[in-house]
Amino acid sequence: MQKSPSASSLGPGGLDLAQAFFKPIQNTDPPSSTKRHTKISVIGVGNVGMAIAQTILTQDLADELALVDAKSDKLRGEMLDLQHAAAFLPRTKINASVDYSVTAGSDLCIVTAGARQNPGESRLNLLQRNVALFSNIIPPLAKYSPDSILLIVSNPVDVLTYVSWKLSGFPSNRVIGSGTNLDSSRFRFLIADHLDVNAQDVQAFIVGEHGDSSVALWSSISIGGVPVLSFLKNQQIAYEKQTLENIHKAVVESAYEVISLKGYTSWAIGYSVANLARSLLRDQRKIHPVSVLAKGFYGIDGGEVFLSLPAQLGRGGVLGVTNIHLTDEEVQRLRKSAETILEVQSQLGF
């Protein structure tokens, strides 16, 4: 299921009309072999996968985009729909196939595929089905793009990032979960809305599990470079701790609210993942709270666990974890979050 044939071969007998339209100039060299060609593959063309694909295209992040899904008709429909927008987008080659060979040579593989939860089904059973699904996704991605970065978006993202790391055999710096990057964006929005400032001027992180046990790092929040809690303390301005807890609670519940209203989340995660793709492929070296191998950080030594920590991202994947000072309470909550994820992992027998 490749891209539609080029109009350059519409001449008699399949003549390449490009030769007639364009005459080469003299004394030229062939194109440089060192010219960078960026390829991104998106696995799963549901609401989340297509929101990510659409955002990648509009932000001109790839020269080539490959889509993979088990549903061939929907897959071809989505590919054609994107191709038909070519006149309005930066030039990007778009391919699609149910065969993972279409992903060969990818710089970044983004996995959004996942099983839907059946009525009455336990979270553990759903996770086990997703692990089985990933057993058919990750190995071929690693086979066809052995030097790529894996970016896992499917939920539960922390456990499935760990599973992907094990299945791929990749070094840990090249297996990343989207983690709490979006949670932190929601966090910044709520703080900005509360204080009537621009969210881009708010630096704030949610870390730990992408889920109910996530941890808000209140001690390191700053606005315009001013540490918020230290400022309030120095100015002897009282604040209610419950107010802070309510903001964090709103972050945790925000995805559920969107799902209850429109049935799914898509646009925010699309922008979030495209933001991560830009930092990775353009070697931006920006700090993002993403799911990484957390063993050895902040006293997390109970086992190999992936959870979100503020990490520097670049062309090599995870370049390092930011050494942010946490309060004792934040450290304890982060360790508890790690224990929650490890407990789930231990039930997989993986």
Q: Would you say how long the chain is, in residues?
A: 350
Q: Which tokens go with 208?
A: 């730990």
Q: Does 45 carry a binding-site annotation?
A: yes
Q: Does 234 carry a binding-site annotation?
A: no
Q: Does 48 carry a binding-site annotation?
A: yes
Helical axes 267-281 vs 181-195, angle rounded to 10°:
110
Tell me which residue has tokens 């429909």. 77
Q: Does 296 carry a binding-site annotation?
A: no
Who's near 85: CB < 8 A, 6+ residues apart? Answer: 57
CA-to-CA separations, 187 to 259, 291, 311, in angstroms, rounded = 18, 17, 17
210 is catalytic: yes
Q: Does 154 carry a binding-site annotation?
A: yes
Could you say which DSSP state residue 89 is in?
Answer: S
Q: How far apart are CA 273 and CA 13, in angstroms?
A: 44
Q: Does 175 carry a binding-site annotation?
A: no
Look up residue 236 and give its amino acid: Q
Q: What DSSP string describes 110-171?
A: EE---PPPPTT--HHHHHHHHHHHHTTTHHHHHHH-TTPEEEE-SSSHHHHHHHHHHHH---
Who's near 58: CB < 8 A, 6+ residues apart? Answer: 89
Q: Does 44 carry a binding-site annotation?
A: yes
Q: Does 207 carry a binding-site annotation?
A: no
**Three-state DSSP state, 193:** helix
Report the DSSP pairing between strands 64-68 and 39-43: parallel
Q: Which tokens go with 44?
A: 């799963």
The active-site residue, picked from 194, 210, 248, 288, is: 210
Listed residue (36, 255, 239, 14) closest to 155, CA to CA: 255
- Residue numbers annotated as active site: 210
Specify binding-site residues for NAD(+): 44-49, 69, 130, 153-155
Q: Binding site: which residues? A: 44-49, 69, 130, 153-155
